[in-house]
Amino acid sequence: MEVLLKVSGAKGSAVAQENDRRAGTMSYSIAGPNLIIIDHTEVEPAYNGRGIGKQMLYKIVEMAREKSIKIIPLCPFAAKMFEKLDDIRDVLK
């Protein structure tokens, strides 16, 4: 599984791909130079239960750490992951 980050203007996303097939997307809005808002997570049904959402979230968290960015998780999935996972709360706004 490969997770790529894409940015276009004030929007960005983590896209999970396997063998050139999209497995999922986690989108975010750039709310300022040091803040992003994760607003949606979508995983293709064939990839449910394989941790794709978590992989995409970790990719965004990695980018946030590198750029000293904080994250507001409006997406229910991302919000739940921030509640459950202690190791990513350092980037939580």
pLDDT band at 46 (very low <50, low <70, confident <90, very high): very high
What pTM was computed for the model? Answer: 0.95
The pLDDT assigned to 45 comes to 97
Question: Domains, the chain, ranges and CATH?
Answer: 2-91 (3.40.630.30)
Closest C-alpha among 82, 12, 24, 89 to residue 53: 24
* Planar angle of CA 46, 51, 16, nearest 5 degrees: 70
What are the pLDDT digits (tens) for 9-41?
999 999 999 998 999 999 999 999 999 999 999
DSSP letters for 12-76: EEEEEEETTEEEEEEEEEEEETTEEEEEEEEE-GGGTTSSHHHHHHHHHHHHHHHHT-EEEE-SH
The pLDDT assigned to 15 comes to 98
Q: What is the mean pLDDT of residues 42-65?
A: 97
What are the pLDDT digits (tens) for 55-92?
999 999 999 999 999 999 999 999 999 999 999 999 99
